[in-house]
Chains A and B, each alone.
Chain A
Amino acid sequence: MNFLPLWRYQNQLIDGAIVTLELTVISAVCGLLIGIAGAVALKGRITQLRWLVRFYIELFRNTPSLIQIFIVFFVLPTFGLKLPAFEAACVALSLYFGAYSVEIIRAGLDSIPRSQVEAGACLGLSGWQVFRHIILPPALRNAYPAVTSQFVLLLLGTSLASQVAADELFHVAGFIESRTYRSFEVYAVICAVYFAMAMSFKALFAIIGAVAFRWPRRR
Chain B
Amino acid sequence: MALVEIRDVHKTFGKVEVLKGVSLDVEEGEIVTIIGRSGSGKSTLLRCINALESVDSGEIRVEGQKVHAGMPDLKKFRQRVGIVFQAFNLFPHLKVERNITLAPLLTGRIEKAKARALAEDVLTRVGLADKIDAWPEQLSGGQQQRVAIARCLAMAPHLMLFDEVTSALDPELVGEVLKVMEAMAKQGMTMILVTHEMGFARNVANRIVFMHQGRVWEQGPPAKLFANPETPELASFIASSK
Interface residues of A (CB under 8 A from B): 115-116, 118-126, 129, 133-134, 137-138, 141, 213, 215-219
Does B106 sit within 8 A of A, measured CB to CB? yes
A138 in contact with B79 (CB, 8 Å): no
Of the A-B pairs whose beta carbons lie under 8 Å apart in the complex, a sample of 14, sorted by A's number, is A115-B87, A119-B90, A121-B78, A122-B82, A122-B83, A123-B155, A124-B75, A125-B75, A133-B106, A134-B91, A137-B93, A215-B93, A216-B138, A218-B137
B200 CB to closest chain A CB, in angstroms? 22
Across the interface, B107 reaches (CB within 8 A) one of A125, A138, A141, namely A125
Tell me which residues across on chain A come within 8 A of B75, comparing CB atoms.
124-126
List the B residue with the shortest CB-CB distance to A118. B52
Q: In the complex, what's the smallest C-beta–C-beta distance from A174 to chain B, in angstroms? A: 46
B135 within 8 A of A: yes
Residues of chain A with a CB closer than 8 A to B85's CB:
115, 118-119
B residues with CB within 8 A of A: 50, 52, 75-79, 81-83, 85, 87, 89-95, 102-103, 106-107, 135-138, 151-152, 155
Q: Are B93 and A141 in contact (CB under 8 A)?
A: yes
Among A126, A129, A141, A219, the residue within 8 A (CB) of B137 is A219
> Hey, which chain A residues are within 8 Å of B90, CB to CB?
119
B89-A119 in contact (CB<8A): yes
Instruction: Check if B93 sits within 8 Å of A124, measured CB to CB.
Output: no
* Most chain B CB neighbours (cut-off 10 Å) among A118, A119, A215, A217: A119
Assuming A115-B85, A116-B89, A129-B106, what are 12 further A-B pairs, CB within 8 angstroms? A121-B52, A123-B102, A124-B75, A124-B77, A124-B78, A124-B79, A125-B107, A133-B102, A137-B93, A215-B95, A215-B137, A217-B137
Instruction: Evaluate contact between B91 and A119: CB separation under 8 angstroms.
Output: yes
Known pairs A133-B102, A134-B91, A138-B93; A123 contacts B137 (CB<8 A): no
| A133-B82 Cα distance, complex, nearest whole Å | 19
Tell me the minimal C-beta distance from A101 to chain B in angstroms: 21
Residues of chain B within 8 A (CB-CB) of A121 are 52, 78
Cα distance, A121 to B79, chains bound together (Å): 9
User: Which interface residue of A125, A141, A217 has the most chain B CB atoms within 10 A?
Assistant: A125
Bound together, the chains give a CA A116 to CA B137 distance in angstroms of 15
Q: Which of B50, B102, B137 contacts A216 (CB 8 A)?
A: B137
- Bound complex: CA A133 to CA B103 (Å): 10
Separation of A178 and B223 alpha carbons in the complex (Å):
96
> Is there contact, CB below 8 Å, between A218 and B92?
yes
Q: Which residue of A lies closest to B98 (CB)?
A: A133
